[in-house]
Amino acid sequence: MQFNTLILGAGAAGMMCAAHAGPGALVIDHAKAPGEKIRISGGGRCNFTNMYAGPENFLSGNPHFCKSALSRYTQWDFIDLVAQHGIAYHEKTLGQLFCDGKSTQIVQMLRDEMARARAELWLQTTLADLSHDESHFTATLMRDGQRVDITARHLVVATGGKSIPKMGATGLAYDIAKQFGHSVTETRPALVPLTFSDQPFASLSGLSVPARASTPKASFDEAVLFTHRGLSGPAILQISSFWRDGQDITIDLDPRGALLAALRAQRQQAGRRNLSTELGHHLPARLVDYLAPTLRTSGNLADQSDAALTTLTDNLRHWTLRPTGSEGYRTAEVTLGGIDTDGLSSRSMMSQTVPNLYFIGEAVDVTGWLGGYNFQWAWSSGWAAGQAI
């Protein structure tokens, strides 16, 4: 069978590409349904983009690579598409747009767009063999237990990264990249909870606090969640993309920097108040109890010198911890690293060395922050390849 374009992977990027790749596109996926990560994303409501998305929200070996696609198919283009399909949405926080209803509305929208473009979708289909000559790609597919040989002028690899193997993530994109002589940068789990081997926060499990989490390279002001095995919550997921094994992270439990002044004022007005009790007005009491032995919070406010209060608040602002690892690909939202952007055109996502071979979405070494940025990269890169075909 002949197609103009074979797209491997019916996820966010692959479906977007199929909707724009013109006639004769076939999308294959080994899963039972397309867009499974879209379905489970954003707690079932899909954080489909971010109003403030820009190149600065992405990590990549080449920070300039994502600029072209992001500027030619922007968050506003995707928001328009969502609106055209009558999907209601809202901003949750920090520019993050979520469906009012279910994330399956986004999957259906992409299916409708693919149908409009007359793209074919073959599910539960795997790639058994792939080769290439001057003008065509030849693929052997396994569909319903049958071998199907197809040829296509264009091949788009959109099989994503390694995160959540249980949902069907494989390293196929990296294998194909290597088969065609592309390099792949080091990959690691990102947007992932951090763990501590001695489970120091088990007693605080479930507690969430507003904080600033930092690594030497980045800081994020969002919630930190204590878990049985370590730390999670948006601030930790964000810094996990910057954290490296053996590094410390710092938690600032007073990100607005208002605590010292507040304690000093209270010392004037209510000097007899117990220091721990007062701290409990600014931080969860469970956390104050947990920190009490290290922070030496005994005594009344009136007993505390300026120096003591300064030391106390400094310690709360620089709580230094060394994670022993992360939860890994089992729960990571994305894969950091991937197909080296040096080998790709930033305009079309096409290989610089193999004409008509494209890599899009998470498989490429472009990783967004938490907050709708990764889907925006899938839409923008999928669109860019679709336009070029």
Give contact residues for ligand FDA (rule: CB under 6 A): 9-14, 29-31, 36-37, 40-42, 46-47, 126-127, 158-160, 163-164, 168-170, 172, 333-334, 361-363, 372-375, 378
Minimum distance from residue 348 beta carbon to ligand FDA (Å): 16
For ligand FDA, the nearest residue by Cβ is 11
- Comparing CB distances to ligand FDA, the nearer of 7 and 283 is 7
The residues near 364 (Cβ < 8 Å, ≥ 6 apart) are: 338, 339, 341, 344, 349, 381
Question: Among the residues of the chain, which ranges form H helices?
Answer: 12-20, 36-40, 67-72, 75-84, 104-116, 172-179, 234-240, 259-269, 275-279, 285-295, 306-317, 373-388
> What separation, in Å, do the N-terminal and C-terminal C-alpha atoms of the chain show?
19
Minimum distance from residue 166 beta carbon to ligand FDA (Å): 10
Minimum distance from residue 33 beta carbon to ligand FDA (Å): 8
- Comparing CB distances to ligand FDA, the nearer of 164 and 231 is 164
Give the Cα-Cα-Cα angle 366, 371, 375 (nearest 5 degrees).
50
Minimum distance from residue 368 beta carbon to ligand FDA (Å): 6
- Comparing CB distances to ligand FDA, the nearer of 127 and 316 is 127
What are the tokens at 263?
């304690």
- Comparing CB distances to ligand FDA, the nearer of 56 and 198 is 56
Residue 141's φ and ψ, nearest 5 degrees, are: -110, 155
Minimum distance from residue 125 beta carbon to ligand FDA (Å): 7
Alpha-carbon gap, residue 41 to 103, rounded angstroms: 7
- Comparing CB distances to ligand FDA, the nearer of 142 and 321 is 142
Task: Return the amino acid letter for 81.
Answer: L
Dihedral over alpha carbons 192, 198, 204, 209 (to 10 degrees): -40
- Comparing CB distances to ligand FDA, the nearer of 30 and 154 is 30
- Comparing CB distances to ligand FDA, the nearer of 211 and 378 is 378
Minimum distance from residue 145 beta carbon to ligand FDA (Å): 16
The three-state secondary structure class of 100 is: coil
Which value, in Å, is the radius of gyration of the alpha carbons in the chain? 24
Minimum distance from residue 235 beta carbon to ligand FDA (Å): 16
Please check whether residue 87 is in contact with residue 46, taking contact to mean a CB–CB distance below 8 angstroms.
no
Residue 193, Cβ neighbours under 10 Å: how many?
Answer: 22
What are the tokens at 238?
């964000």
